[in-house]
Structure 1
Amino acid sequence: MKRLLALVGFYFFTQATIAAPSINVGGVYDYLDGDKSTFLKRIFNGGDSTAFVKVNILEILFDADGTAREVPLKTQADKSARDGLMASPARLIVPANGMQGTRLLYMGERDKERYFRVRFVPVVPEKEDEFAVSSEEREDYKKSLSAGVTVLAGYGTVFFVRPKDTRFDSVIENSPGNYRIRNNGNTVVVIDEFKDCSVKNEQDCQPTTKHHILAGRTFNFEKQSGREYRFTLVEGEKSKKLDVKG
């Protein structure tokens, strides 16, 4: 679970500029339900210049020991046999203080859950980037980014594709010193807004966290006397608030 959380990326590209784009992709975790094949992802630009954004996708694979790897998607000569996630469009021109959307389309088998890293990378457009702008427009944009220093920030999100026959089966074991949730289903379960606080002092709390329990995995924590653990167990569209005393 911690390894999966580490896959959420935030990275920077430095360019010379005064005016600058500033993109926001909303949630960094998105979920495609078993009966859906497309997902609309909106990208916002709160900056004061146009954002040119490339969308890149990698598949996340997990080794037997739980280690995550990001690998390029396999390309098929026959596009009808495409297997994986694609973005349409994969190049976005987002105006200042505006919004654009891209549809994430999954094509392939849905017998098991799959995971993808979707990167939204702001760039200074070049000819090979295939943005629908002229050479003059590219040069004008570069000149507008030449008088100072700014940071172009990109985001990496995690996209979960649930199996067609989605099944939730969370088994809870609440022993005197330990609390455990095992995911016996076939799709991810979310532990949202996990809070570890003192019973006597509500201000004495650990940072709120979010956890993903992949199919076949377990989430557990040691209960301590005088502490209270509050969180929401999310299974798709269903959610349940839980309160556990140490």
Structure 2
Amino acid sequence: MNRGFLLGVLSLFCLTAQAGPQINVGTVYDYLDADKSTYLKRVFNSGDATAFVKINVLEIVYDAEGKPQEIPVANAADGASRNGLMASPARLIVPAQGMQGTRLLYMGERDRERYFRVRFVPVVPEKEDEFTVTGEEREDYKKALKAGVNVMTGFGTVFFVRPKDARFATAINETDSRYELRNDGNTVLVVDEFKNCSLTKETDCGATTKHHVLAGNSFAFDKEKGREYRFFLIEGADRKALKVVSR
């Protein structure tokens, strides 16, 4: 996978069906600013049954060829040597038509940017899952789900932890035939709502896309005659609207 594209399509987990819990986690990309150490993530349940949600965290690391891998976060049992991201709590009981929150807490060095996959997985509670429910409540829940065909869908989000000295430095190189945006800073920047459209036919537009550009990487495109390219360049809290026209 191209490192500049970063983490591409997000994980989806389907267990099977139609009614029951229906969770939603809002945005699928979240960013921890340089001056923050915690982030509140809300989980919504629009379904007609309670959702029991397990939260798993994996770190996304890149090998020498720039290929991403997801590995478990290594933490000491006593928390003394914790180095990475953790969810607290890591188990949520979200009532039907309700909401619960978990805090994503980062502990460790902030000398470089780090990336994590946070998975929100609805489950049927078992004893070993450590949900605070009785055995009788677990069995009642299973029976209620078995009464119909149920779908429980989970989400995999991507969490960016910016370095302590986060610095944005975007260089633009443009020729008659090509446009390149290079990230010379030390933290991710975002090319959002990228769209290319015909100058003469208003309805002739490509799909709207979003791109994450890691430090040291570039986002580029070839300029076609008679097209214009619109997008937002997002550097932390700064959002700029840009337009490139090729006549």
Band of TM-score, shorter chain:
over 0.9
2:233 is aligned with 1:233: yes
Q: Distance in 2 between matches of 1:167 and 1:2?
A: 20
Q: Distance in 2 between matches of 1:241 and 1:40?
A: 28
Equivalent residues in 2 for 1:1-246, closer than 5 Å = 1-6=4-9, 8-14=10-16, 19-246=19-246
Give the AA of the match of 1:114.
Answer: R
Residue 207 of structure 1: how far off its partner (Å): 0.7
Residue 76 of structure 1: how far off its partner (Å): 1.5
Unaligned stretches of 5+ residues in structure 1: none
Give the AA of the match of 2:112.
Answer: K
Q: Distance in 2 between matches of 1:78 and 1:126?
A: 25
Give the AA of the match of 1:5.
Answer: G
* Residues 43-69 of structure 1, C-alpha deviations (whole Å, 9 max, x = no match): 000000000000000000012222110
Q: Distance in 1 between matches of 2:13 and 2:228?
A: 35
Q: Over the residues paired in the alignment, what is the CA RMSD in angstroms?
A: 1.1
Farther off after superposition, 62-71 or 82-91: 62-71
* Residues 82-113 of structure 1, C-alpha deviations (whole Å, 9 max, x = no match): 00000000000000000000000000000000
Q: Distance in 1 between matches of 2:32 and 2:206?
A: 31
Farther off after superposition, 197-206 or 53-62: 197-206
Q: Distance in 2 between matches of 1:177 and 1:19?
A: 52
What SS does the aligned partner of 1:14 have? Answer: coil
Residue 204 of structure 1: how far off its partner (Å): 0.8
Contact 1:91 1:131 (C-alpha < 8 Å) held by counterparts: yes
Residue 3 of structure 1: how far off its partner (Å): 4.4
Q: Distance in 2 between matches of 1:78 and 1:136?
A: 33
Q: Quick one: structure 1 residues 26 and 237, their matched pair in 2 at CA, closer, same or farther if it must change by over 3 Å?
A: same
What SS does the aligned partner of 1:139 have? Answer: helix
TM-score (norm 2): 0.96
Identity of aligned residues (%): 64
Give the AA of the match of 2:16.
Answer: T
Farther off after superposition, 61-70 or 233-242: 61-70
Contact 1:32 1:159 (C-alpha < 8 Å) held by counterparts: yes
Residue 230 of structure 1: how far off its partner (Å): 0.2
* Residues 5-42 of structure 1, C-alpha deviations (whole Å, 9 max, x = no match): 23x11220127xx7400000000000000000000000
* Residues 190-237 of structure 1, C-alpha deviations (whole Å, 9 max, x = no match): 000000111111211111000000000011000000111000000000
What SS does the aligned partner of 1:80 have? Answer: coil
Give the AA of the match of 1:90.
Answer: A
Contact 1:194 1:230 (C-alpha < 8 Å) held by counterparts: yes
Q: Distance in 1 between matches of 2:63 and 2:226?
A: 38
Contact 1:19 1:144 (C-alpha < 8 Å) held by counterparts: no
